């Protein structure tokens, strides 16, 4: 929401505030903090795709493919849901 915020032009000029450009908003939202903590935000952003976690996700996606969703579904919570799940998979295994 802050990135889409626009200050009223009259108030901005009256109070002497600088224009809130995209660069200024980016600094307010974190680039100044990155400087304080000695971080290079561009290097961190680029390094995310090369992290061990990102590599693990790519390997898992390649191995499981279309079935990856099955590992993200919530567990069965009721007895009825369990038996419906079993019946569905039995029906899927039976030929014809």
DSSP string for 9-31: HHHHHHHTPPP--HHHHHIIIII
Residue-level pLDDT at 83: 92
Which of the four pLDDT bands, split at 50, 70 and 90, describes residue 80?
very high
- Above pLDDT 90, what percent of the chain? 4
The rounded distance, in Å, linking the Cα atoms of 52 and 60 is: 12
What is the pTM assigned to this prediction? 0.34
Which structural domain range is residue 61 located in? 2-93
Give the model confidence (pLDDT) of 26-46 as tens digits: 888 888 888 888 888 777 666
> What is the tally of structural domains in the chain?
1
Give the model confidence (pLDDT) of 34-77 as tens digits: 888 888 877 766 667 778 888 888 888 888 776 776 766 667 88
Specify the DSSP class assigned to residue 59: H
Both tokens of residue 64? 């499981």
Q: In sequence order, which ranges of the chain are alpha helices (DSSP H)?
A: 9-15, 22-26, 32-36, 41-47, 52-64, 79-93
């Amino acid at each position: 929401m802050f990135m889409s915020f626009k200050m009223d032009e009259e108030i901005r000029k009256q109070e002497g505030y600088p224009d809130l450009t995209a660069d200024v908003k980016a600094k307010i939202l974190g680039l100044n903090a990155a400087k304080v903590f000695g971080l290079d935000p561009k290097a961190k952003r680029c390094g995310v795709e090369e992290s061990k976690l990102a590599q693990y996700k790519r390997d898992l996606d390649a191995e499981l493919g279309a079935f990856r969703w099955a590992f993200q579904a919530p567990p069965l919570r009721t007895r009825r849901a369990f038996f419906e799940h079993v019946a569905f998979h039995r029906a899927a295994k039976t030929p014809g």
